[in-house]
Each structure stands twice: as C-alpha cells, then as structure tokens.
Structure 1
Amino acid sequence: MPKAVYVHIPFCEQICHYCDFNKVFLKGQPVDEYLEACEREMNELVRRFPTKQIDTIYIGGGTPSALSALQLEKLLGDLVDVFQPKGEFTIELNPGNADEEKLSVIKDAGVNRLSIGVQAFQKDLLEKIGRTHEEKDIYETINNARKYGLDNISIDLMFGLPHQTLEMFAETLRKALELEVPHFSAYSLKIEEKTVFHQLFRKGKLQLPREDEEVAMYDLLIDTLTSNGFHQYEISNFGKVGFESKHNLTYWNNDEYYGIGAGAHGYVYGQRYANAGPIKKYITSVTETGLGMFDQHQVTEQEKIEEEMFLGLRKLEGVSISRFEERFGKSPMDIFAKEIEHLRLQGLLTVEGGRISLSRNGLFLANEVFEKFLL
C-alpha cells in the first residue's frame, strides 16, 4: 500500500548539461493544463489504489520553482486536498528562482522541507555545468526561506565535475557547512545519454577528473561531513540526527509510493509503473484514462528479493535480516550465502547486529556489490 507521493514537474528555465531527467524548456509549455492533468491523476490513483495514510510528499523535477506563485498554489493545494499530508513535505528549489511570494505560498501550503540544487559555489564551475545561479543566489534563497520558518533544508552538491579539483571540492564543502543546513545530498557526476555532457564526452571534449581524484573527493566528503556531526545514512546522503530524508527512505526500504506527472515512476499494489514522458502524451493519457501510465509491470517474488537487497544496501545500516525474513519467509543468508561470504571476504560487506551492510570500502564499489544480488 503506497505510503509516499512523488510529483514530477518537468519544466525548466535552463537545461543543465548533466541532467537526464524528464524535462523541457518552460517557455510555451501548457503548464496550467499539465497541472490539471496532475490533479486528475492524483484522484484516479487514490481511487484505483487506495491507501490509509501518506507519510511523505516530494515534488521534484525539472524545476518545481519555475512555476509561478499561482501555479504553485494550485499544485500544492491539490496535493493537500487529495492526500492530506501529515509528515514530511518537500519541494525542490533552484537558487535564485524562488522569490518571497513563492516561499510564502510554499509555507502556507504546509511544505516543511526544501531541497535546494546548489551543486557548487565556484562561478566558472557552475557555468561549465549549465547552472545559471550565482553564489550570492544560494545565500539569498536560504536566508529568505528561513524568514518564512523553512529551516529544514537539504542542499545538493556534486563532485567529479569537469575541471573540478580536490581543492575546489574542499572549498565547496567548507562553504556548504557554513550554511548550517541539516542535510546534504552529494552525488558524483554520471555521464548520461541524451545530455550535453554525453555529446561532449563522445567528441573527447569533456575534461573530467581522474578516477583516483574522484575517489579522493568522495573520501573527503565522508570525512568532512561525518567529522562535522552529520550521519551518513545512505551512499550519497548525510543528515543531522532526525533530519534524514524520510521520503527517500521509502525508496531504499522498498516500500510503495505514488508517482504523478510526466515521466514519473510509481510502485503500487506490487506493480511498478512509468508514466509517459512527453508532456502532451501524458496529458492525453490522463484525459482519456485518468492515469499517465504507459508501462506497467507486476513485480515478481524474485525481483522483490533482488530489490530488497540492492536498495537496502544503499543505506549505511544495510539490510535487516529479520525484516527480510518477515517479507519473504527465508533469510538472505540462505539465498545469497555464496555472494555474501565472497563479498565479506573481499572486505566489501559486513554482517553483524542482524544486518548486512556495505563496508567503507564497499561504498566505493557499491554498484559492483549490487550486481552480485541479481539472481
């Protein structure tokens, strides 16, 4: 039964060079019609796949803060009406495009957590990755948010960027800590298809840090944040105690959630689904059927077992053996005995306290570890 809601807002005023999420330029798009479709989809999902209570809502993109204040008011009002949220309620913002009017709307609707796409502090680096904000916009957005009592703030950072050095990343971490926010998400750059960076990479025109430099940046990230009182609770996420992202934990705990909007993914009643990505196709689908789904898949028992392992291992606390047994009637130590022992001997996994989790070395080779649990 779904416990969370993800809403995708695919509109952007500027397309970042690394982004492969479903997005389009805002100008000329049928935004109001899109929001009406989202409202209809919300209601239809709840009708077909009822739930008892929604614990978290997350509005991502794209750039949700690219919406006007009136459009935000419409979207947030619909979410409150349909889902009656009582827990964590997050919206993504870009520095510089969430003015006080929008922040007032956000606060009044009951949003209680912000995720701000900072990525870096250096002007040249921001320009190289296609970001349009400046360092001053970061401080202004956070200061304005705090005026409205929006103190539960997470910021996104990136490392392994073109021309980024270890010293530059150290400066980014120092400035990020000075913001005194309670949560950080920090991701290494991945070159994804259909992005500007992918085109440049294919042409040999993208100067990236060496692998050992990227590893050093991740090492620095872990050491710097943990020594400053942040708890690393997932491969890329660090929070003060009590400020972990409850919504993202829904994914890593392999729990169900509604996905709303163009290109959104959801997991309801044992079924994973993906919505149509093109805006007009999504709107047409919702108009005709009430839902935006174009791909649906009933998850098999084997797939659920695999997902329980590789999603759970993203968390630093790892996979609970007792929870696994409750869900599947057997122990992961029996199903994956050879794999777990092999990875343990390699120093990539630990098994203690009723949990299977990545070691410090395992964090750096996580994808290789996850592959071992695909049956």
Structure 2
Amino acid sequence: MVIESPRSIYIHIPFCSHKCHYCDFTAYVVGGQPVDEYLDALDEEMAWTVQETPPETIDTIFIGGGTPTVLDVKQMERLLRSIRRYFPNWSDQMEYTVEANPGTTEKEKLAVMMAGGVNRISFGAQTFRSDLLSNIGRVHSVADIGQSVETARQVGIDNISLDLMFGLPQQSVADMEEAIREGLALKPEHFSVYSLKVEEGTVFHTKLLQGKLPLPSEEDELMMYQLTRERLQTAGYSQYEVSNFAHPGKESRHNATYWKNNAYYGLGAGAHGYTRGVRHVNVKGVGEYIRRCAKGRPIAETLDVSRMEAMENEMILGLRLAEGVQEAHFYDRFGIPLDGVFGKVLTQLQNKNLLENEMGRWFLTEKGLLFGNDVFSAFLGEGIDHGVGR
C-alpha cells in the first residue's frame, strides 16, 4: 500500500459564540476561554508535528471549528502567520478555507484573512427562516448571511460556500425551497447541504428522548433532498458528492482529501489526522490540550490502519463522489484488483441497481444515491482477505 505524505492540513478552533443545539463537535463557548494560550499551544503542536512529519508542498488548508471567526483580528492574524511559518511551501493552486458564522466576519478581519492567504470561506447559513435559526441554536440573523457574503466579496475573497441543512425540527419542504432560493440569490460558488443527524450529548438528543423534537417525516426529508438536487443542478451546480454541489472548478479540494482517503495533518483540540498510515485524534479539553502541547504532540489515541481497512475506506469514502472509484487507481494504491477484494459485494450491489460500472469506474446509481448508507456499510467486513490482515 502506498503511504503518502500529507499535502492537506486541518486546523481546529474549538470556540464558538454559542453552541448550536445539534452540535457534537469539540466546541466551547468562547467567553472565559484561554484563547491566546490555546493559540500558543497550537503553535507548539505545529512545531512538534513538522519535526516528526516534515511537510511537503501543501495543496489545501482548512480551518474549522467551532467558529474560527470568533477570533479577533489580532488573533486571526497571529494564527495565519503561525501556519505559514511551519508550512511555508504552498502549491500554485492552493485552496485555503476558513469556516465562518454569518455576522462574525467584519471587513477588517476578512482583509487580514485574505492577506494571510485565505481564498475560500464556508459560511454556515443553515436556513433562511428566522425562527428555524433560533430553534436550532444559531445566533446569526437571516440578514447577516447576505451581508457577510457581500463583505467577503468586497475584500476580494471570491470563492464562497454556503452550508444548508434539511430535516430540521418544524421545517417544511416549502421552507427548504425558500432556503435554496435565498441561497441561490447570493450566487455562491459552492453549496454543502446536509440532513440533520441527532447525535448523543446534544440538546436535540435530549429533546428527542423527551419527545419534544418535532422532526419532518422521512418522506418530507427525502423530498427536501431531491428538491435540493433538482434546484441546484438546474441552476448550474454539479452534484460532485452526496451532499455537495459546485460550479465547475469550485469543488472543495480539501474535502476531497477525506473522500479520496488521502493523508492530512490534523491540528488542534479534538482534531483528527491521518499520516503515514496512522489515524490519530487529539485530546478534546482545551486545558488538557494546552498542557500536553508544552511537552509534545497532544494525541489521545492512535489507530494503525490495516491494508484491509484502508481498502474498505477507499470504497466507503470514494463512492460518495460522483466520479466514484476507479479500478486502476485502486490497483495502483493497493497492488491488487478491486474485484479480487470486493467482487462479491460489487456484484450484489450492481444486481440491486445501487452501483454501476462504466469502463472500470464504480459509482452510485440514482437509487444508490438515495440509499448511500446501505451501500457504504455493505463493504465493511466483506473484503476477501488475501493474507493482508486487518
């Protein structure tokens, strides 16, 4: 199996102005948090990391959260400067994304971001109905969404992504149609559109257990997804991944790192990384993260990814993409034919009209797109073990 050096970086800023009711990420309300000490620790983690795994040319950087744009101007400038110091070699086609909540991106901060190399912003719009925003714990207004997009374009950041959600409590199909219409009016280059997943430990999970979470029916949720696909594709956005749509050439190259099962650095509290065939997750607590970074890398857990697991991940992640999985690429990466490992499950899924094969390229059918989780789970434990082990 080919072991790649990372060409992508994920950096986690675990602070928010307010934690959303559906969020199970490593995120803490910023008030009273040691933000500057956290940035000190992040700088230390970068130093430890590049010493252990020296960087090559970097193609993508993604700063996520939390809400990275809760950092003030000086903190943002400092963070971007640290990143450039430890990862100085960038490709000519560098994609540099920062996640942002509408209303947290004043012009001065955006100008600092652009000067630091940021050329793409992902705004968490989620919905364009004020009461729905409030119900899910968002603190921005509908007006903030358009204003933030406009301000970003004013400073010269011309690659904008909008996040939308469907399947929200009390959300109707008409609400989703309105959200798409309002989103299209802002002319972003990219949309990420996700269904709500109620995760343990969230406010929504507690309400669900109490019978106080009025979710749409499965039929309505499916209609919202199909409506999203229809409207966005009609408007010129290609569905290049199960939940992502873009104008040609504006697909998220950083997220493709994950879907293509490639290596990436993961930095920050609770961040995940994948380097040299090993996945790791950092400690989550801010205080513990700061303490650990003073002595070394703040890793809570590591997992050696076996060859078989890597092959399963190749299928589960790769089939999320419209381009699917190429037999030739699979062979180049693992040195074994795809059908020699997953021939049985591929045939079963093809017979069920969930997968299609075209010139050595396996991809989801229209039916498979709607039952993607069933397709992905089918590969777990189904590979023929040619003495490679797990």
Counterpart position of 2:32: 28
Amino acid at match of 1:352: E
Q: 1:7 aligns with which of 3, 8, 11?
A: 11
Number of residue-to-residue matches in the alignment: 374
Question: What is aligned with 1:371?
Answer: 377
Q: Distance in 2 between matches of 1:346 and 1:215?
A: 20
Which secondary structure does the structure 2 equivalent of 1:59 belong to?
strand
After TM superposition, list the pairs within 5 Å mapping 1:317-328 onto structure 2: 317-328=323-334
Q: Which residue of 2 aligns with 1:82?
A: 86
Of 87, 91, 101 in structure 2, the residue corresponding to residue 94 of structure 1 is 101
Letter in structure 2 aligned against 1:126:
L
Q: Indicate whether 1:296 and 2:281 are aligned.
A: no
Residues in 2 aligned to 1:35 and 1:193: alpha-carbon distance in whole angstroms: 29
Larger displacement relative to structure 2 (299-308 or 325-334): 325-334
**4+ runs of 1 displaced by more than 3 Å?**
none
Unaligned runs of 5+ in 2: 382-390
Match of 2:351 in 1: 345
Q: Does 1:178 align with 2:185?
A: yes
Distance 1:5 1:361 in 2: 34
Displacement of 1:52 in angstroms is 1.7
1:214-256: CA deviation from partner (whole Å, max 9, x where unpaired): 0111111111111111111111100000000000000111110
Matches within 5 A, 1:225-264: 225-264=232-271
Task: Tell me the amino acid that sits aligned with residue 32 of structure 1.
Answer: D
- Cross-structure match for 2:360: 354
Equivalent-residue separation in structure 1 for 2:76 and 2:233 (angstroms): 36
Distance 2:241 2:321 in 1: 4
RMSD of equivalent CA atoms: 0.8
2:116 aligned residue: 109
C-alpha deviation, 1:341, in angstroms = 1.0
Q: Following TM superposition, by how much is the alpha carbon of 1:332 offset from its aligned partner in structure 2, in angstroms?
A: 1.6
* Aligned equivalent of 1:16: 20
The corresponding residue for 1:308 is 314
TM-superposition CA deviations, 1:150-181 (whole Å, max 9, x none): 11000100000000000010010011011111
Moved more, 336-345 or 236-245: 336-345
Letter matched to residue 254 of structure 2: H
Q: Hey, what's the Cα distance between the residues in 1 that align with 2:240 and 2:115?
A: 30
**CA–CA distance in 1 between the matches of 2:255 and 2:56?**
20
State the partner residue of 1:46: 50
Output the CA distance in 2 between the equivalents of 1:131 and 1:236: 21
* Letter of the structure 2 residue corresponding to residue 299 of structure 1: V
Aligned twin of 1:155: 162
Distance 2:264 2:194 in 1: 23
The offset of 1:336, in angstroms, is 1.2
Deviations 1:328-348 (A, max 9, x none): 111222211121111111111
> 2:295 aligns to what SS in structure 1?
helix
Match of 2:339 among 309, 312, 333: 333
Q: Which residue of 2 aligns with 1:64?
A: 68
CA distance in 2, matches of 1:3, 1:108: 21
Structure 1 alignment gaps of length 5 or more:
none
Identity level (%): 47
Aligned 8 A contact 2:55 2:87 in 1: no
- C-alpha displacement at 1:283, in angstroms? 1.1
Task: Indicate the SS of the match to 2:147.
Answer: helix
| 2:248 partner amino acid | V
The AA in structure 1 aligned to 2:9 is V
User: What is the alpha-carbon distance in structure 2 between the residues aligned to residue 112 and residue 317 of structure 1?
Assistant: 25
Partner of 1:168: 175
Structure 2 Cα separation of the partners of residues 172 and 320 of structure 1: 35
The answer on 1:218 being equivalent to 2:222 is no
Distance 2:228 2:20 in 1: 23
